[in-house]
Amino acid sequence: MIGALATLLVLQLLGEALVYVFKLPLPGPVVGMALLLLVLAVRPRQLAALKPTTQNLLQHLSLLFVPAGVGVMLHLQRLGDEALAIGVALIISTWVGLAVAALVMSRLMRSASKERP
């Protein structure tokens, strides 16, 4: 378990370092997860070593939301004051995300149908 946790934390640290050094517009943990995917693709045997620890972490994932809940409770007044702006941003970003996904899917389907005789 310690080795698996160390592996996960080292990959997250590498992700943070890569983001810092190359000034990437991505969160370090996301880059670390991409590195984890790369490690698992290259060395599939690592999955057996990591699986029990990752399942254990996932079982207790709800504990990671406690700090976010505390932050919401702490800044509840501010969230209320800026509810309109937050709501508009959420709605617009959702619609933009859906539109981009639809356009990408449409173009992929068109290019796939052109490749087939």
Question: How far from the centroid of its chain's Cα atoms is residue 65's Cα?
Answer: 15
Say whether pTM exceeds 0.75. Answer: no
Nearest-angstrom CA–CA distance, 95 and 91: 6
pLDDT of 117 > 70? The answer is: no
Amino acid sitting at position 91:
I
pLDDT tens digits for 31-81? 999 999 999 999 999 999 999 999 999 999 888 888 888 988 999 999 999
Nearest-angstrom CA–CA distance, 88 and 106: 27
